[in-house]
Amino acid sequence: MLAITNKKHTNGLDYLDIETDLCKARIFLQGAQIDYFQPKGKPPLLWVSSADDYQPGNGIRGGIPICWPWFGMHPNPDFPQHGIARTRIWTLASIEMRAQQLELRFELALDEQDKRFWPHDSRVSVLFSLGDSLSVSLNNHNTGNRPISLTQALHSYFPIGDIHQLRASGFSGAKYIEFGAGPYPQEDDTVTFERETDRVYTDLGEVQWLHTPNGTIEVAREHSHSAVLWNPWIAKSQRLSRFNPDDYLGMVCLEAANVLDDGLTLAPGESHSLITHIRWWESH
Ligand SMILES: O=P(O)(O)OC[C@H]1O[C@@H](O)[C@H](O)[C@@H](O)[C@@H]1O
């Protein structure tokens, strides 16, 4: 089966409700933000805060916000954190079925206002590939005649059941910066959570795993040596917008990125795709 329905949230945001033989998904045009993905017969793979009321103009607190064309704070303090893409309306450009994977491509056309933030000749698009796993590819192409530099992330929120029982693995050999300090070498392969965690990893291997009480989520990356691992813990949860004070107990963000020395510089005519693959891991 294949059903793709255009719907409007009560607060006005347009989204696509999607069902295939292999999964159910929901993608908002604002931010090209997927906030729901569930392979059939398995639990959902993305987390969203019940405090989010899906207001136009705000990124949704969950799913996969797209941070582009910068990650984190911009040197100009008047520019929004994590770039502009997550609050802009994207256009659905194509729908294709390949084998049993449904592919949906969205494009972002920047207007004159946006050019204040990003005065470059470039094209950005995102391709979702939906099957019994989820792949997201954020594609940049330099259409101008000067090099352009950017940072970006697929800011994925995962449902992890209980932060006190979560073990995140696949981190050995990397290094990280946290709260402006570091880089620290990551000696253990596994990370556990006992406090606010906000690490920007570099030199990171291609696959990490989130071992939760409900199963293991595998998060793989292509064309990326960096990722962000984030849980706001108690105090920051109380300050965060569209977030319940105890939400930190049930989520973690593991974000495929191109940041720090893994940031991009694209020569004229050059393209790049940041890709993440997300699935419930099954041992064979
Ligand atoms: O509240 P925002 O802008 O969605 O950001 C959420 C978090 O995003 C993470 O990626 C950052 O590392 C955190 O420092 C930040 O708090």
User: Which mean pLDDT values do the consecutive 10-residue runs of the chain (284 residues) have?
Assistant: 97 98 98 98 98 96 98 97 98 96 97 96 98 98 98 99 98 97 97 98 98 97 98 98 98 99 98 98 74
Which tokens in the block code for residue 273?
Answer: 């795709």
Q: Find out whether the beta carbon of 155 lies less than 6 Å from any atom of ligand 1.
A: yes
For residue 180, what are the contacts with CB-CB under 8 A and spacing of at least 6? none
**Ligand 1 mutation pick, 230, 238, 247, max ligand atoms within 8 A of CB:** 230
Distance 268 CA to ligand 1 centre (A): 31
User: Residues 261, 262, 263, 266: what is their CA dihedral angle, to the nearest 10 degrees?
Assistant: 120
pLDDT for position 282: 84
Q: What's residue 44's pLDDT?
A: 98
pLDDT for position 283: 64
Contact 251, 158 (CB under 8 A): yes
pTM score, whole prediction: 0.98
112 HSE (CA, 13 A, CB side): 0
ipTM greater than 0.90: yes
Bridge partners, residue 149, by sequence: 265
Residue numbers belonging to the annotated binding site for substrate: 61, 81, 86
- 26 C-beta closer than 6 A to ligand 1: no
Find out whether the beta carbon of 196 lies less than 6 Å from any atom of ligand 1: no
| Domains within the chain, CATH numbers bracketed | 2-281 (2.70.98.10)
- Give the model's pLDDT for residue 267: 98
Name the nearest CA neighbour of 25 among 101, 91, 88. Answer: 101
19-48 as b/e: b if 16+ CB within 10 A: bbebbbbbbbbbbbbbbbbbbeeeeebbbb
Residue of the CA atom closest to atom 14 of ligand 1: 198
Q: Mean pLDDT score of the chain, rounded to an integer?
A: 97
